[in-house]
């Protein structure tokens, strides 16, 4: 005598089409669902993205002294070096102009 394993929907009891894995907070769940409930779950769902979640960046203000841009620490260090070397060059040019006049 043969036996058959029938997986049924955890919500309504109809034959299940798919097993769905859910992750809520730090816990993982699995649920067997029929086609009707699978369609309901997929409606309005989004595909997961790899990597870090995107964050909203701060608006960049132009034309003001206090305009802050988001940079990583590595970029911040390099841009700080560039700014100081640029300041030295411009101050050296100003000094040379003053001496020439």
- CA dist 95 and 21 (Å) reads 69
What is the average pLDDT across 19-30? 92
Higher local confidence (pLDDT), 2 or 11: 11
- CA dist 86 and 89 (Å) reads 5
Q: Does the pLDDT at position 61 exceed 80?
A: no
Write down the pTM of the prediction. 0.43
Radius of gyration of the chain (CA): 31
Residues 6+ apart with CB under 8 A from 21: 28, 29, 30
């Amino acid at each position: 005598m043969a036996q058959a394993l029938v997986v049924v929907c955890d919500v309504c009891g109809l034959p299940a089409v798919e097993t769905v894995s859910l992750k809520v907070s730090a816990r993982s769940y699995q649920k067997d669902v029929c086609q009707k409930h699978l369609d309901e779950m997929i409606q309005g769902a989004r595909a997961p993205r790899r990597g870090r979640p995107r964050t909203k960046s701060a608006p960049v203000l132009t034309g003001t002294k206090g305009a802050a841009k988001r940079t990583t620490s590595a970029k911040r260090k390099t841009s700080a070096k560039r700014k100081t070397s640029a300041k030295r060059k411009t101050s050296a040019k100003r000094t040379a102009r003053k001496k020439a006049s």
